[in-house]
Chains A and B, each alone.
Chain A
Amino acid sequence: MISVAAVTKRYGGMLALDAVDLDIARGEIFALLGPNGAGKTTLISIICGTVSMTSGRVLIGDRDILADYRGARAQVGLVPQEIALDIFSTVWNTVVFSRRLFGRPSDRAYLERLLRDLSLWEKRDARIIELSGGMKRRVMIAKALSHQPEVLFLDEPTAGVDVELRRDMWGLVRRLRDMGVTIILTTHYIEEAEEMADRVGVMKGGRILLVEEKHALMRKLGKRRMTLALDQPLRELPVALADVPLALDHDGRRLVYTFAGSEHGAVPSLLRRLAELGIDYSDLDMTRSSLEDIFVDLVGQRA
Chain B
Amino acid sequence: MTGAMSMNLRGVLAIFAAEMARTRRTILQSVATPVLTTALYFIVFGSAIGSRIQQVGGVSYGAFIVPGLMMLSLLTQSISNASIAIYFPKFTGTVFEILSAPLSYVEVVVGYVGAAATKSVVIGLIILATAALFTPVRVLHPFWMVAFLLLTSVAFSLFGFIVGVWAKNFEQLAIIPALIVTPLTFLGGAFYSIDMLPPAWRTVSLFNPVVYLVSGFRWSFYGLGDVSVQASLGFTAAFIVGCLLFLWWIFRTGWRLKS
Query: A: which residues have CB within 8 A of B?
Result: 11, 48-52, 61, 63, 69-71, 73-76, 78, 80, 82, 84-89, 93, 97-98, 100-105, 143, 147-148, 150
Contact = CB atoms under 8 A, between A and B. Distances in A.
Contacts of A105: 10
A103 B102 contact: yes
A70 B97 contact: no
A80 B96 CA distance: 8
B14 interface: yes
B63 to A, nearest CB: 40
B180 interface: no
B179 interface: no
B10 A49 contact: no
B96 A102 contact: no
Contact of A51 (B2, B10, B259): B259
A2 to B, nearest CB: 14
B258 interface: yes
Contacts of B8: 70, 102-103
14 contacts: A48-B100, A50-B96, A71-B3, A74-B1, A74-B5, A78-B97, A80-B96, A84-B96, A86-B94, A88-B22, A100-B10, A101-B103, A103-B8, A150-B2
Contacts of B93: 80, 82, 84
Nearest to B98: A101
B181 interface: no
Given A49-B99, A73-B100, A75-B1, A101 B11 contact: yes
Interface in B244-259: 254, 258-259
Nearest to A73: B102
Interface string B199-243: 000000000000000000000000000000000000000000000
B53 interface: no
Contact of A78 (B1, B22, B96, B259): B96
B48 to A, nearest CB: 40
Interface residues of B, number: 31
Interface in B72-106: 92-94, 96-104
Given A84-B93, A102-B102, A103-B10, 17 more contacts: A48-B96, A49-B99, A52-B259, A70-B5, A71-B3, A73-B102, A74-B2, A75-B2, A84-B92, A84-B96, A84-B97, A98-B97, A101-B15, A101-B98, A102-B1, A103-B8, A150-B2
Contact of B92 (A63, A69, A85, A103): A85
B196 interface: no
B100 to A, nearest CB: 5
B17 to A, nearest CB: 8
Nearest to B25: A88
A293 B8 CA distance: 48
Interface in B83-132: 92-94, 96-104
Given A84-B92, A98-B97, A148 B18 contact: no
B4 A102 contact: no
A70 B102 contact: yes
Contacts of A101: 10-11, 14-15, 97-98, 101, 103
B184 interface: no
A178 B28 CA distance: 49
B13 A100 contact: yes
Contacts of A52: 254, 258-259
A63 B1 CA distance: 12
A61 B2 CA distance: 9
Contacts of B1: 74-75, 102-104, 147-148
Contact of B100 (A78, A97, A103, A148): A78
A88 B25 CA distance: 9
A97 to B, nearest CB: 5
A76 B14 contact: no
Q: Which of B11, B18, B102, B254 has the most CB of A within 10 A?
A: B102
Which 8 residue pairs of A and B lie closest in terms of their CB atoms, listed nearest first?
Answer: A84-B93, A100-B14, A70-B102, A103-B8, A73-B102, A101-B101, A74-B102, A50-B99
Contacts of B18: 86, 89, 97
Nearest to B14: A100
Contact of A97 (B5, B14, B259): B14
Interface string B1-45: 111110011110111001001100100000000000000000000
Contacts of B3: 71
A86 B92 contact: yes
